[in-house]
Amino acid sequence: MTSGQTFLFPELYQEAATPKPVNVASIPQRSPFRYPGGKTWFVPTFRAWIGSQYPKPKVLVEPFAGGGIISLTALFEALVDRAVMVELDADVAAVWKTVVGGNAEWLARRIIEFDLTKESVIREISKTDVDVKERAFQTILKNRTFHGGILADGSGFLKYGENGKGITSRWYPATLARRFTDLKLIADRIEFRQEDGIEVIRRYSNQKDAVFFIDPPYTAGGKRAGRRLYRHCELDHERLFAVCEFIKGDFLMTYDNAEEVKAMAHSHGFQMRLIPMNNTHHATMEELVIGKDLSWMDQYPAVHEPKASYKATKAPASAPARKRKPRRTSRR
């Protein structure tokens, strides 16, 4: 809205304004991870999507769970009854297995009691032959002290961190411990699987009351970011799109705004919208949201599919003028 302008019905103009990136500080941070490519900024859109579903879905399947913010939010806010979280990375899986296995409190205590220095972290993460909960602790240490929270091979310690505090700049033991103790409240509603996400989608695709939030690693179309960020980054994207066609419930996918992805979505008959987000460098970018029916996202720009080739002919003078459809002013 132009400053200084007054409108007769300001609420209508607010709806029509271009959506702004979400301020992630306004979203409750439930995940103990600072996850590369994490979807905290997507939470309001996710809530709107679940809210548009009738009847209310029972199960959320998150086949590429990573830091799991979407599943955790869905459970804490009672948007679904249960969540199936899937992740291939053994380090990340160790954390979810520890939470689901009833050891979140143990992890919380381990975090509180740890005296973090570069030397103590190196000593801890060099230990081999550890059990799942110790591996979970190693993962949290790495995630909090490595540059960008990146666990993939080749990642290294934070050099300067926030305010030059270096390795300790992302280590908030009390906050982290509380996130783990809070997870006890929903742990029995999580089913965790360390396996291929596409296979799990296929298995649940017939279940009408299941919805899927799909946020795959992306390395197709010449984009190499996924390779640097995740240990498991190779994915058969075409197979993923093909499996999604069989989903009886609903799904949402998020992807880089890349031509190759748009072509795949188009060829499988899915809809697309662009949604603004701020990246880690605070630059505003656009991500692609893909789904079966995105009419609940009408305030976001549609992604135009290849133009149909047809000839425009002038309407005869006697033809009645076509009425324009009124613009929707509220979300479903």
Shortest Å distance, C-beta 327 to ligand SAM: 32
Instruction: Report the residue number, 33 or 299, with the smaller CB distance to ligand SAM.
Output: 33
Shortest Å distance, C-beta 215 to ligand SAM: 4
CB distance 265 to 238 below 8 Å:
no
CB distance 178 to 108 below 8 Å:
yes
Instruction: Report the residue number, 31 or 299, with the smaller CB distance to ligand SAM.
Output: 31
CB distance 176 to 145 below 8 Å:
no
| DSSP annotation of 126 | T
- From 205, 202, 213, 193, select the one nearest 74 (Cα to Cα): 213
CB distance 250 to 57 below 8 Å:
yes
Instruction: Report the residue number, 197 or 291, with the smaller CB distance to ligand SAM.
Output: 197
Coil, helix or strand at residue 306: coil
| DSSP annotation of 205 | T
- From 276, 265, 267, select the one nearest 301 (Cα to Cα): 276
Shortest Å distance, C-beta 172 to ligand SAM: 18
Coil, helix or strand at residue 320: coil
Q: Which two tokens stand for residue 112?
A: 């509180």
Instruction: Report the residue number, 88 or 299, with the smaller CB distance to ligand SAM.
Output: 88
Tell me the residue number closest to ligand SAM, measured at CB. 66
Instruction: Report the residue number, 67 or 291, with the smaller CB distance to ligand SAM.
Output: 67
Shortest Å distance, C-beta 97 to ligand SAM: 14
Sequence-distant (6+) residues with CB within 8 A of 215 are: 37, 39, 62, 64, 66, 70, 253, 254
Contact positions vs ligand SAM (CB under 6 A): 35, 37-39, 63-64, 66-67, 69, 86-89, 92, 196-197, 215-217, 230, 232, 235
Coil, helix or strand at residue 169: coil
Shortest Å distance, C-beta 149 to ligand SAM: 10
CA separation for the pair 150, 15 (Å, rounded): 38
Instruction: Report the residue number, 37 or 57, with the smaller CB distance to ligand SAM.
Output: 37
Shortest Å distance, C-beta 194 to ligand SAM: 8
Q: Which two tokens stand for residue 259?
A: 């031509």
Shortest Å distance, C-beta 150 to ligand SAM: 11
Instruction: Report the residue number, 32 or 38, with the smaller CB distance to ligand SAM.
Output: 38
